[in-house]
Amino acid sequence: MSERAPEDTVSYTVENRIAWVSFNRPEKRNCMSPNLNRRMTEILNELEFREDVGVLVLTGEGTAFSAGMDLKEYFRENEEKGIGATRHAQREAYGWWERLRWYEKPTIAMVNGWCFGGAYGPLFSCDLAVAAEDAQFGLSEINWGILPGGGASKVIVELTGFRNAMYHAMMGENVDGKKAAEWGLVNEAVPSDKLKARVEEIAGVLLGKNPTALRATKWAIRRVGEMTFDNSMDYLVRTQEAANFFDGEGRKEATRQFIDEKTFKPGLGAYDLNKKD
């Protein structure tokens, strides 16, 4: 099979304000090549400020989310060209993962199959993650004589804790979606035939929330984990003040609906975004 054109390595559709973005190299289990990494950057740029996009879902075509980095195109071919080419490829890959971590819109990883090694980068970059119960997660680097680099070691420690991370990285054994959910690598695992419906359900809830508050919330949760308590308190005060600058009416409208109209209860759902006094 001939290599896909660079523009075909990632595909996307927008339906009901959900952008479904798919790694599109199923014949290679969606491993990430330099072409795919460049295309992901382009698509993230295209979608980030579109008014018809409220949530981005990242998944993979075929039987894999992503099998990690392309050993031939990402590693071997760039290493043969020297350190400059290697650094350039790393910056392209890590660059779009960073963009995704701080994306303006909520993001969900829909892990439909294999998720190995380098794929832990974009998995962690998404705000939420739902996996098929039979999806396979693996850090196989130890099996071919290297350590889990490219952020994978940090991701597994961050999400699953020391003991699970050490076992996963040192043993080189795969875990399925159920175990990944138990460890905290993903939020939950569902039967594969219910995966898309569950992700749509979660996306629908997010679409009903105040978008400015969602953006501030996701960034805050990522930031405060590495702060002292006092620093996080100060940061969160300033962040709320900044959010009020971008959307000074949302909080007031929610308060009005709660106190004056008594039409919603914050503990049971979001206020009506489409309702104005």
pLDDT value at residue 72:
87
CA trace torsion 134, 135, 141, 144 (10° rounding): 60
Q: What is the pLDDT along the chain (277 residues), one digit of tens a residue?
A: 567 898 999 999 999 999 999 999 999 999 999 999 999 999 999 999 999 999 999 999 999 999 999 888 887 888 889 999 889 888 988 999 999 999 999 999 999 999 999 999 999 999 999 999 999 999 999 998 888 888 899 999 999 999 999 999 999 999 999 999 999 999 999 999 999 999 999 999 999 999 999 999 999 999 998 999 999 989 888 888 887 776 667 667 665 766 566 677 776 677 667 776 5
Residue 48 token pair? 């980030």
Q: How far apart are CA 21 and CA 267, in angstroms?
A: 32
Q: Which residue reads 């303006």 in tokens?
A: 104
Q: How far apart are CA 102 and CA 125, in angstroms?
A: 8
pLDDT value at residue 199:
98
The DSSP symbol for 48 reads T
pLDDT value at residue 251:
65
Burial class (CB in 10 A: 0-12, 13-18, 19+), 197: exposed
Residue 23 phi/psi, 5-degree rounding, is: -60, 135
pLDDT value at residue 257:
66
Residue 251 token pair? 């909080």
Q: How far apart are CA 95 and CA 38, in angstroms?
A: 9
